[in-house]
Structure 1
């Protein structure tokens, strides 16, 4: 099944943000989409409440991350506020043995895959190389190099093929990454080898200060079919639609039909990272338009309208968020700052003379500061 029914390849990407597949509208009303419906026919109110809880917890992690960076406790943070539905909805569609290759913004994916704050927060403090063990949650460490993880995901998927297994590999990246050669090269290999990989593009409208309309005149999902990869442009603020889209994509990859591509149209509510000032390049009216599309408010409105979410449940979720927020702070404040020379400890598995020489140079450099203080 090729789900390109909502994609108008000649649409103006800057104005047609509603040319997307969805199941829950911005106001919380249920929308009928037969092609998406079949992939979430089993989703009941309990499952939806679970997705709501996931998104609230992810937002709390993100809120704490930003606050800790502002307090000087983290060196940097890449906010994901507004993109919780993409991350939670797609990640919840995966099996535990699928392998995920995230970018630096997918804190929600790490959370859904079972990572605890101490597994990924210390990396932003700069006290560890990469934090989590990828094989504990089958999730690679967050990739900082734009788009590089797509090649890793395709390579892993080709390995799955050769093992004769039915796992799926997933690459997450932003709209800005689609302008990188790595992403396009990854799609060439994925298509040529029918690799079981899913590409998830979180189109959050801005590649740092560059609007998506500058890098793409037409919807990004329209590029994948040119590589022979079916695509779907979905409402990235609709968690149910994101779940459905990922189930479609993973089913295709898992059953030997080759790769699939999802463009999730969403919005980065905060800065690109905490070193960025978005007020320099976008106006508050735009942010307010997207604030009215908030993914958490949308699902809450739907569930309350169905009588499936009450204040007691909301309070219990908030209490869980408080506990998780405390865990984020503890993981940050309790992180051990390594001695400077420890940076050399795990570069090679075996002793290396070249590394010993570099260690000596660095030690002498550090000793120079001590000499200055004594003088």
Structure 2
């Protein structure tokens, strides 16, 4: 089985599925946005819930599951439909066994959550019902681990990043610190097929007041995921994801890794915050237009494209107007980054009536668009520079 990365057409929001090349086809779902219209057969909105289930494994009891689910941050456009489409509770209490195959909720074997999600409900950070449900499930799994010292599939959790003031110090075995890499998913060591480095969130003890008031976007999980085409691949495809992290965080990323830019290098990038201008600038696009200034540090952080890289905007079609996100100026900046490496920019909003676009991971560290899965408007090569050896990208 080839490793694949799938981006679903969910409007301006995120839902991305990574499937590894191991014999179990281990799956990692990053965020979820399944709108009510997508569940309505009379609505023209693509049925992304069905498309997701089509790509999942089913267990011996006929239940669909993902091996890991990462919520990058608790905005509704990253968790809509969570309660309807996923089972949030102890696996022994799963209630959907008698339902039609396509109505069964998806089990989550291991939850990946930032600790900042736990304290994001305040006068500054209002959470949706789906976000609160995720919060409650994450807390349940942490309590289960604390009570038992271990957890089985359906109760597992990994906390992505430390909290301030030692609030996560007792979670060592289930805690991943910023800068740390890991290759285990739901108890399985998958180092031949997968490894990922957590880059954010990281605590900022020197500015506790700022830390407490960070927006949900700025608390986004940032990871650089390395995916092997097979157990024998010498080079891995690097897939950089960053939720809705905005310019402040990307400046911090460059400040931390400017002397080791390979940490930020990518073959595939999910454009942060749906190709928002605020990922690259503090200026308002709607107010300043072309006079808005790019943060060079943030652009450097997001400019580490390797040869033949692909950038995907999970958003509606990007047009030349004053809306943000997505933003036409941000798209031009990404296209400028890719021009130097013979890369390709695409947008899920250009998929027409297709629910998703699938990419296959190649042994040379690149990705290939699978034409049978989704046809995009416009002309683009079906293989993105697969024969060129990977290297660190621009911005050195």
TM-score (norm 2): 0.26
Q: Which has the higher helix share?
A: 1
Higher relative contact order (CA 8 A, sep 6+): 1
Q: Which has the higher strand share?
A: 2
Larger radius of gyration: 1
